[in-house]
Structure 1
Amino acid sequence: MSALDRISVERFRDDFEAAQGRPVARDERVALAVSGGPDSMAMLALAHAAFPGQVVAATVDHRLRVASATEAEMVAAWCDAAGVAHMILTVEDAIGAVAVQARARERRYALLLRWAVESGAKCLATAHHADDQAETFLMRAARGSGVAGLAGIRALQTREVSRPVGDSGTVFDVWNVAVVRPLLHWRVAELRALAVAQGLPFVDDPSNADDHYDRTRFRALLRTTPWLDPAQIAKSAAFAAEADSTLREIEAWLWRTRKVVPVGVDDPDFQSWLDIADLPRELKRRMCRSAISLVRTVNGIVRPAFDDSTNIESLLDALEAGRSATQAGIMVSVKGNVWRFAEEPPRRSV
C-alpha cells in the first residue's frame, strides 16, 4: 500500500470514528452497505484496510433493473477474494412505478438494518459523500425546508430494529443500530479516483443520469455551475445540523419545564398540555410537532400522514391568534398561555 493510500486509510478511520462519536473497538463488527458504485466500493476498500477482519458487507438487489443481480454478484466476488463476509439482500415485493426512489430506500434500509443486527454489528455505514450532501441541501432549500431539513444527511442516526419473539406477534425484541456516514467530508471525484487507482470493480447506476428524478437535476446543476462548491454547501448543511441539534436540546428542556399537569382531567395520558404561547415561533413549531406526534401515537392515529415535513404554519397562525384548530387528527385549543393537544372529536353526522 502506497503512502498516499495509508493517508487515505487513516483519514477514513478518523472520519468513521468521528461520525460514530467513539473509537471502533478491535473486536467490533463494522457493517457496510455497498451498492457497487465507485463511492461505496471505495468505502469498502478503505474500511477493509482500516478495520481488518472486522468488516461485513451487504448489497441490496432491488430488482428494478436486469443488471442489478449481476452487479450484486460483482461486489460479492470482490469481497470473497478479499476475505470479507458478504450477503446479497433481495427485495421480494415489487416496488412499483410510483415514488420509486423513496420506496426503494424504505425497503433497502429495512433489509440492511435487519441484516446488520443479525450480523452482530452495532453500526451500519453508508457511502453518502459531500456531493450527496450538497444535492440534498439544495433540493430541500428549493422546497422551503427549515433548519431540520437543511441539516441534510446526518453523520450519525440511531435506527430501531424490532423482531417478534416467538409466534405471539405481540412481543418484540428491539435493537438500536447506529447508521454512520463516514464520507460526508469526501468528494465523489476523489472516491472515484481512489476506486480507479486501486483497480476496484464498480458500476454507474443509470438512474443517476435520469433527469426524471429531482436529485439528478440538482446533480447536473452542481456539475455545470462551478461557483456552487459542493464542499462549502456541505459545510452549511453541517452548521444547520449543529443548530438543529441545539434546538432539539432546547426542545427537550422545554418538554420538562413547560408541560402542564391539568387538574380534574380524566385521560391526561392521551393529551398534552403545554405552556408555549410566549415562545419564539420556531420553538412553537417544534413543540407542536412533538405534541401532535405524541398524542397521535398514544391514541393510535395513523391517518392522515404526519411527519417533520408536514406544513403546520396555518395551525400556528390560528393558535397564535387564540383560535382552536385541527391538524392530522389532533384538536389543538388555546387556554390562556396553555395549548391543549387532544384527539380530534368525531364529526357530528347531519
Structure 2
Amino acid sequence: MPGLTPAPAFTLPDAAALTAHALGRPVRPDERLAIAVSGGPDSLALLTLAAAAFPGRITALTVDHGLRAAAAAEAAGVAAQCAARGLPQVILHRDGPPIRANVQAAARAARYALMADWCRAHGHGLLLTAHHADDQAETLLMRLNRSSGGDGLAGIRARRDLGGVLLVRPLLALRRAELGAITAAAGWQSVDDPANHDPRHDRTAVRALLAATPALDAAALAAAAAHLAAEAEALAWAADLAWRSRVEAAGPALILDVAGLPAALVQRLLARAVSQSGGAPARGSAVARLAARLGAGQAGTLAGVRCRVLPGQGVRWQVIAAPAHRVPQKKP
C-alpha cells in the first residue's frame, strides 16, 4: 500500500502478535478493527502497523472535540493522508455544550464514548489505541504520587470492555521514540497537541522528570506496571471466589463475612458491595478508609451507602443503601 511501508532496512513490529498479546487471544479473521488516530506520531505509527497486519479490516477514527481552533484542520489533514493511502477514515464530532471543567478527563470520556458508539454501529468489535511504554511509566509515577492502591498502580490496562467493544492497547511494550521512527519512515505528517506541553497538567511535569532523570527507566517502570496488572487480575479472580462464598443477601442489605481475609481482598468485596447497593464508584483510598473504620468497629457511609458491623461471632459487615433524603413538605 503506497506510503505505508517504511524503508527496506526498517523492520516493523508484528502488530498481529502485539494485539493478540494485549487481547489475550489471536484476532479472529472475521474481526474488524477501529484505530484511534489523533494525528500525532504515536497513533499514526499504530495505524501504520495495523494497516500492515490487518489489510482491508481497519478504519481510522479521528475525534474533533471542538476544543481547539486547529482541531478541525488537523482532523481534515489526517483524513487527506488516509485517503491518499487508501485507508478508510471517519471524523467524529462531539456535540453538546463546551467542556469547562476537568477538560482532559471529560474529553477523554467523550472520545471513548463516540468511538465505542461508532464501533457498535458499524460492526468493529476491537478499538485500538496507541498508548505506549512511556505513557505507562508516566501513569505509574503519577499514581504513586497520589497514593493509589494496587489497581491504580497497574496503570493503563492492555484491554478493557466498552460495552461490547473491546478497547485494546497493543503498544504498551514499545517506546515513544520507536513509534516516532515508524511514523517518520512511513512518510506521515504528524501533528503535536499543545496539551502535551501544558504545564498545568501533571503528566507534563512527570514527562519532564523522566526525561531529566536517566536513573528512571521508562521501560522498567512500564514492566513494573504490567506485573502489577497481572497481580490485580489474580486478586480480582480471588475476589470473585470470595464474593460467592462470603457475601449473602439479607433483604435490601448485603452481608459480608470478612473474617480472616487479607485487607486487599476485603476492600474489593466492600467496593463491590457498595456499588451493588447503588453507590457510585469510589476511589480505592476512600474504600480503604471505610474498611479501616469498619475494622475498628465503627459505622460509615460511602457514596450514599451505609455500612456497619453486625454484632455476634466473626466479622460480619452490613452494607445497605441509605434512605433518600426527604425534603420537608410545607404546610398549606
Same fold per superposition (TM over 0.5):
yes
Match of 2:294 in 1: 319
Alpha-carbon separation, structure 2, partners of 1:19 and 1:340: 38
Sort the Cα spacing of 1:14 and 1:348 in 2 relative to 1 into closer, same or farther, 3 A.
closer
Q: Give the number of equivalent residue pairs.
A: 320
The answer as to 2:32 corresponding to 1:29 is yes
Match of 1:170 in 2: none
Deviation track 1:62-107 (CA, whole Å, cap 9, x = no partner) reads: 1111111111111111211222211100112234332110010011
Alpha-carbon separation, structure 2, partners of 1:348 and 1:12: 56
Alpha-carbon separation, structure 1, partners of 2:38 and 2:327: 53
Alpha-carbon separation, structure 2, partners of 1:216 and 1:238: 22
Alpha-carbon separation, structure 1, partners of 2:265 and 2:180: 42
> 1:323 offset after TM fit, Å?
2.4
Q: How does 1:215-234 map to 2 (within 5 A)?
A: 215-234=203-222
Match of 1:271 in 2: 253
Q: How does 1:164-183 map to 2 (within 5 A)?
A: 176-183=164-171
Residue in structure 2 matching 1:40, options 39, 43, 67 = 43
Q: How does 1:1-350 map to 2 (within 5 A)?
A: 1=5, 2-5=7-10, 7-9=11-13, 11-160=14-163, 176-262=164-250, 268=251, 270-296=252-278, 305-309=280-284, 311-335=286-310, 336=312, 337-345=315-323
Q: Percent identity?
A: 44
Alpha-carbon separation, structure 2, partners of 1:95 and 1:246: 41
> 1:26 offset after TM fit, Å?
2.8
Q: What one-letter code is carried by the residue in structure 2 that aligns with 1:30?
A: L
Alpha-carbon separation, structure 1, partners of 2:288 and 2:244: 24
Q: Is the 8 A contact 1:332 1:342 kept in 2?
A: yes
Q: What one-letter code is carried by the residue in structure 1 that aligns with 2:322?
A: E
Q: Is the 8 A contact 1:127 1:183 kept in 2?
A: yes
Q: Is the 8 A contact 1:12 1:50 kept in 2?
A: yes
Deviation track 1:210-235 (CA, whole Å, cap 9, x = no partner) reads: 11111111111111111111100000
Q: Is the 8 A contact 1:150 1:237 kept in 2?
A: yes
Q: What one-letter code is carried by the residue in structure 1 that aligns with 2:162?
A: R
Alpha-carbon separation, structure 1, partners of 2:292 and 2:32: 50
Point out where structure 1 has 5 or more consecutive residues left out of the alignment.
161-175, 263-267
How does the TM-score come out when normalised to structure 2? 0.91
Q: Is the 8 A contact 1:95 1:104 kept in 2?
A: no
Q: Is the 8 A contact 2:305 2:322 kept in 1?
A: yes
Alpha-carbon separation, structure 1, partners of 2:140 and 2:79: 33
Sort the Cα spacing of 1:348 and 1:206 in 2 relative to 1 into closer, same or farther, 3 A.
closer
Q: Is the 8 A contact 1:28 1:121 kept in 2?
A: yes
Instruction: Give the 3-state SS of the residue equivalent to 1:312 in structure 2.
Output: helix
Alpha-carbon separation, structure 1, partners of 2:220 and 2:56: 35
Alpha-carbon separation, structure 2, partners of 1:119 and 1:260: 41
> 1:250 offset after TM fit, Å?
0.5
Alpha-carbon separation, structure 2, partners of 1:51 and 1:87: 18
> 1:348 offset after TM fit, Å?
9.3
Q: Please report the RMSD computed on the Cα atoms of aligned residues, expressed in angstroms.
A: 1.8
Q: Is the 8 A contact 1:31 1:116 kept in 2?
A: yes
Q: Is the 8 A contact 1:80 1:86 kept in 2?
A: yes
Deviation track 1:16-47 (CA, whole Å, cap 9, x = no partner) reads: 11111222233321111100000000111111
